[in-house]
Amino acid sequence: MCVSPDMSLPDERLTLLGQDAADLPALSALLQDATVRVPDIGYDRRARRLAVILNRYRWEAGGGSRVRAALRLETVTAVQRQHWPATADAVLDLLALTQDGEFLVLTFAGGAALRARVEVIEVVLEDIDAPWATSRRPQHAV
């Protein structure tokens, strides 16, 4: 996985490139508990790119902050939605990014998922704005 040189600094922007299955667990951990508005998900069939704008909880900075980030999946040949919300402006909570055969899967709370068929793994996660403080720490049922 390629990492930006400033990743260790608490207020710096993160930029990561994942190019194989071994990179997905680290990317998934950084994406856990990100919030995503359905209108901020786009698939460009011609460019073969799935792009998601999200508010990422900054676990790597000790929590307590979020940052606006872009997630791009490249070489996408098809996208499938599962248990998708009926409301066009719904907000989804991202749980994980995993691989299932030739698919990269974004799994959301409540059972929703996006499955992107990819030719090769090429995932880019990039913080696109400065982080902001939040007192709302994600909670998980035990």
Question: Is the pLDDT at 87 greater than 50, yes or no?
Answer: yes
Region 78-97: what's the mean pLDDT?
A: 96
Q: Is there a contact between 103 and 117 (Cβ–Cβ < 8 Å)? A: yes
Region 109-129: what's the mean pLDDT?
A: 97
Instruction: Look at residue 137 and tell me if it is in a domain.
Output: no
Q: Is there a contact between 111 and 83 (Cβ–Cβ < 8 Å)? A: yes
User: Domain range spanning residue 40?
Assistant: 16-130
Q: What is the pLDDT of residue 33?
A: 96
Question: Is the pLDDT at 48 greater than 50, yes or no?
Answer: yes
Instruction: Look at residue 8 and tell me if it is in a domain.
Output: no
Instruction: Look at residue 116 and tell me if it is in a domain.
Output: yes
Question: Is the pLDDT at 2 greater than 60, yes or no?
Answer: no
Q: How confident is the model at residue 140 (pLDDT cuts 50, 70, 90)?
A: low
Task: Work out how many domains the chain is built from and give that number.
Answer: 1
pTM over 0.85: yes
Instruction: Look at residue 110 and tell me if it is in a domain.
Output: yes
Instruction: Look at residue 136 and tell me if it is in a domain.
Output: no
Instruction: Look at residue 44 and tell me if it is in a domain.
Output: yes
Q: What is the length of the chain?
A: 142
